[in-house]
């Protein structure tokens, strides 16, 4: 935080101490937005435009892994859709991305009896030799246990069988498990899928290799299959698994972030960003993660434009590339826009699914939180007025951390998200059109008011 920011922050904190805000008594300036907010909400929720647009993306293009022709098609599609919406300055911004290719893959228990495992190789994993890796499995339930059994892992396949609790708690086994096991001589790793149990779905996701140990292949298996291996092992029988994966990394390829704007009518150099990530994993159709987030961000600008509500500042939609296995799009945006980051009023990311909206997560000062809470009071009709910690989504994080930009995340009912996350089941039928329309409405109102609010109000958050 530089001196100017500190001075502003102190002034704002003082202002808020003098007049504490409550969601049920928003400040007078917010009341001026009641009428436009009602119009924006009505427009967003009167039909299923957002859901139909997402269906077009997921049905005709489908999954969009970095480096795939499908992602290239999705980028071209987004450009043409933004132009069709009448947005300004629609363009792509080149980003080089890693190209990981899954290839054919499979795993089976070959002893004591044959069982095909429901598996998905982990993103960025190396492959196996052509004939696969065949070894006895050691079942491990956490990193402490892994270290305690360090002597018995050599030449084995390690199964990290840790039931899903929360994503941050259990995704670390997917991310770090391969290198933690390789350090003690394991030849491959299987990870119990990071998601609630159900219907034998493997969940893929990115792993991260340590630089100083051999890279070993790693795959997720369904929770049911992890439990199967565990039961047989617990009876004292040796479980032998054969894993075959063709996965490999190819040289980086060109990709792009997609950008469109509604230029501000008074202060076009000041910017509010809304966005989601256009890439997805290569399974399912990337509907929830994060096609829906992209579409509701696009909706914010389409709906304002359609109603002729041009805000004081510029609203910019950004569809980032390569969130899932590299984060290059978010870093690329920060680097390309470094000179104007100080003019970013706020950045709003939707990457939690487009289920029933609850409100916004906020990363920023108390002043930011109070301002967002005041605007969120306009979202009471949607049931989306809550303001909680959060707001530092993966694609906006590089920019908001570098320039102390207030960050917001659309928060939704999370009960279904991790059931389909990174699986073949991430398809549009899991998304309710009316709930998605409400997400679009919440994004639109928040982006509109942040980009239009009186300057004296926003001097508090930036
Ligand atoms: Zn995502």
CA neighbours closer than 13 Å in the CB half-sphere of residue 183: 14
Q: What H or E segment, with its residue span, contains residue 260?
A: strand 248-262
Q: What pLDDT, on the 0 to 100 scale, is given for residue 461?
A: 78
Question: What is the 269 CA–ligand 1 centroid distance (Å)?
Answer: 29
Among residues 366, 322, 372, the alpha carbon closest in space to that of 347 is found at 372
> How far, CA to CA in Å, does 336 sit from each of 346, 374, 391, 407, 414?
17, 32, 22, 19, 33
Task: Per-residue pLDDT tens, the chain, 462 aa: give them.
Answer: 333 343 444 444 444 443 444 445 789 999 999 999 999 999 999 999 999 999 999 999 999 999 999 999 999 999 999 999 999 999 999 999 999 999 999 999 999 999 999 999 999 999 999 999 999 999 999 999 999 999 999 999 999 999 999 999 999 999 999 999 999 999 999 999 999 987 999 999 999 999 999 999 999 999 999 999 999 999 999 999 999 999 999 999 999 999 999 999 999 999 999 999 999 999 999 999 999 999 999 999 999 999 999 999 999 999 999 999 999 999 999 999 999 999 999 999 999 999 999 999 999 999 999 999 999 999 999 999 999 999 999 999 999 999 999 999 999 999 999 999 999 999 999 999 999 999 999 999 999 999 999 998 887 777
From ligand 1's centre to the CA of 246, what distance in Å? 25
Q: How far is the CA of 273 from the centre of ligand 1 (A)?
A: 17
133 Cα: distance to centroid of ligand 1 (angstroms) = 31
Q: In this structure, what DSSP letter does residue 217 have?
A: -
**Ligand 1 centre and the CA of 121: distance in Å?**
18
Q: Cα–Cα–Cα angle for 346, 350, 354, nearest 5°? A: 145
Buried b (16+ CB within 10 A) or exposed e, 417-452: bbbbbbbbbbbbebbebebbbbbbbbbbbbbbbbbb
Could you tell me the two tokens for 18? Answer: 């003098």
Query: Residue 55 C-alpha to ligand 1 middle, in angstroms?
Result: 17
Q: How far is the CA of 368 from the centre of ligand 1 (A)?
A: 24
User: Residue 60 burial (CB < 10 Å; 0-12/13-18/19+)?
Assistant: exposed
CA of 33 to the centre of ligand 1 (A): 31
Q: Does the active-site annotation cover 88?
A: no
Distance 277 CA to ligand 1 centre (A): 7
Cα–Cα distance, 178 to 189 (Å, whole number): 6
Kindly provide the residue ranges of all beta strands, DSSP E only, lying in 304-412, ordered along the sequence.
313-320, 344-349, 357-363, 386-389, 407-412
- Which positions ≥6 away from 451 have C-beta within 8 Å? 264, 270, 272, 311, 312, 313, 314, 315, 345
Ligand 1 center from residue 352 Cα (angstroms): 7
- Other Cβ atoms within 10 Å of 31 Cβ, number: 11
Q: Rounded distance, CA 232 to CA 144, Å? A: 23
Closest CA to 436 of 361, 376, 356, 378: 356
> Cα of 323 to ligand 1 centre, how many Å?
7
Contact 96, 252 (CB under 8 A): yes
Active-site option among 261, 323, 324, 411: 323
Distance from Cα 418 to the centre of ligand 1, integer Å: 11
Distance from C-alpha of 103 to C-alpha of 23, rounded to nearest angstrom: 52
**pTM value?**
0.93
Phi, psi values for residue 341, rounded to 5° = -60, -35
Q: Are 204 and 235 in contact (CB under 8 A)?
A: no
Tell me, in angstroms, the distance from the centre of ligand 1 to residue 324's CA: 7
Q: Which residue has the tokens 């920019």?
A: 399
What pLDDT is stored for residue 374 in this prediction?
96
DSSP 437: H
Q: What is the pLDDT of residue 24?
A: 56
Ligand 1 centroid–CA 327 distance in Å is 10
How close is the Cα of 292 to the center of ligand 1, in Å? 10
């Amino acid at each position: 935080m530089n001196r100017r920011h500190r001075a502003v922050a102190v002034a704002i904190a003082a202002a808020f101490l003098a007049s504490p805000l409550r969601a049920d008594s928003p400040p007078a300036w917010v009341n001026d937005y009641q009428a436009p907010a009602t119009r924006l909400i009505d427009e967003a929720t009167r039909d299923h435009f957002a859901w139909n647009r997402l269906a077009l993306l997921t049905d005709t293009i489908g999954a969009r892994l970095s480096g795939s022709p499908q992602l290239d098609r999705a980028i071209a599609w987004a450009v043409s859709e933004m132009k069709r919406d009448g947005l300004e300055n629609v363009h792509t911004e080149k980003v080089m991305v890693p190209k990981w290719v899954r290839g054919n893959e499979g795993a089976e228990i070959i002893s004591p009896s044959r069982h095909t495992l429901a598996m998905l190789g982990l993103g960025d994993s190396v492959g196996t030799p052509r004939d696969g890796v065949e070894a006895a499995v050691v079942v491990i339930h956490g990193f402490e246990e892994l270290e305690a059994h360090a002597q018995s892992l050599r030449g084995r396949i390690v199964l990290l069988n840790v039931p899903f609790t929360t994503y941050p708690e259990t995704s670390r086994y997917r991310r770090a498990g391969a290198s933690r096991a390789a350090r003690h001589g394991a030849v491959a790793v299987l990870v119990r899928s990071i998601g609630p149990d159900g219907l034998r779905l493997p969940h893929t996701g990115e792993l991260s290799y340590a630089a100083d140990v051999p890279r070993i292949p790693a795959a997720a298996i369904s929770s049911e299959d992890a439990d199967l291996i565990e039961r047989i092992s617990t009876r004292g029988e040796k479980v032998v698994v054969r894993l075959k994966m063709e996965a490999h990394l190819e040289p980086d390829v060109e990709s792009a972030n997609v950008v469109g704007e509604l230029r501000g009518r008074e202060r076009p150099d000041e910017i509010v960003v809304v966005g989601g990530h256009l890439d997805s994993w290569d399974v399912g159709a990337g509907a929830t993660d994060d096609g829906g987030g992209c579409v509701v961000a696009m909706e914010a600008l389409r709906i304002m434009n359609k109603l002729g509500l041009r805000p004081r500042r510029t609203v910019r939609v950004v569809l980032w590339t390569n969130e899932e296995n590299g984060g290059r799009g978010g870093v690329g945006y920060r680097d390309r826009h470094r000179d104007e980051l100080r003019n970013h009023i706020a950045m709003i990311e939707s990457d939690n699914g487009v289920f029933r909206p609850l409100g916004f997560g906020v990363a920023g000062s108390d002043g930011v939180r109070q301002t967002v809470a005041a605007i969120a009071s306009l979202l009471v009709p949607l049931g989306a007025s809550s303001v909680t910690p959060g707001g530092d989504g993966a694609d906006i994080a590089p920019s908001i951390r570098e320039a102390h930009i207030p960050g917001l995340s659309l928060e939704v009912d999370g009960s279904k998200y991790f059931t389909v996350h990174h699986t073949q089941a991430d398809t549009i039928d899991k998304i309710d059109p009316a709930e998605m329309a409400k997400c679009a409405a919440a994004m639109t109102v928040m982006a509109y008011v942040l980009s239009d609010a009186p300057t004296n109000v926003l001097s508090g958050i930036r």
